[in-house]
């Protein structure tokens, strides 16, 4: 068994935990000073390398530090954009990090007992999605939802109006036309909102 600690540039542990959940990276997220770390207990150092590679892709241009302890050996390296860029002397890396990193790496503190730790496995995908949502994205989602309700009302109006209009009622046909316009405009607005998001 090996213990892996991946120190990331993410400042908010909850957002890192959410990103890990949405990318199927298990473990605990532990606050590390101004940053956050992912702590994993795994059966091989390769699992830690895969996790560091995936997290470094999430970090964009910033690098992450992988620390892996297997038996008495500690391996350290920087990852950026999914690739290991450089090996780092483990002692030097640990000297420049808060004490909690060394404690969880050496298993003198279990990650679940660290202050502010978040169990990624216990987080639901819904909670993870909500944690990654910025205020702008939340406003966009609310607006899109509102237009979806308007589209649904327009569609119901089309169906009901068409049923009544089958009796050759000109007022019902006018209702179908109005409902169709509402339905079409709401679909246009939903499409415009979703296009702006991407």
Half-sphere exposure of 71 (CA within 13 A, CB side): 1
pTM above 0.95, yes or no: no
∠ CA 177-180-181, nearest 5°, is 90
Report, in angstroms and rounded to the nearest whole number, the Rg of the chain calculated over CA atoms. 26
pLDDT score at 17: 92
pLDDT score at 43: 57
Which residues of the chain fall below pLDDT 70?
43, 196-198
pLDDT in tens, 72-81: 888 899 999 9
pLDDT in tens, 128-158: 887 777 788 778 888 888 988 988 888 888 8
pLDDT score at 197: 57
């Amino acid at each position: 068994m090996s213990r892996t600690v991946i120190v990331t540039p993410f400042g908010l542990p909850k957002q890192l935990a959410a990103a890990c959940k949405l990318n199927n990276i298990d473990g605990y997220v532990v606050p590390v000073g101004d940053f956050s770390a992912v702590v994993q207990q795994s059966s091989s150092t390769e699992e830690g390398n895969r996790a560091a590679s995936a997290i470094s892709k999430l970090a964009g241009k910033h690098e992450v530090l992988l620390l892996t302890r297997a038996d008495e050996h500690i391996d350290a390296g920087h990852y950026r954009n999914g690739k290991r860029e450089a090996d780092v002397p483990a002692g030097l890396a640990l000297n420049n990090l808060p004490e909690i990193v060394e404690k969880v790496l050496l298993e003198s503190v279990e990650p679940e007992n660290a202050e502010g730790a978040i169990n990624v496995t216990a987080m639901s995908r819904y909670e993870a999605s909500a944690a990654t949502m910025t205020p702008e994205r939340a406003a966009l989602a609310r607006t899109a939802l509102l237009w979806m309700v308007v589209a649904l009302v327009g569609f119901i109006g089309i169906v009901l109006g068409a049923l009544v209009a089958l009796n050759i009622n000109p007022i019902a046909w006018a209702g179908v036309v109005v409902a169709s316009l509402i339905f079409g405009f709401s679909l246009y607005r939903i499409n415009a909102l979703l296009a702006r998001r991407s």
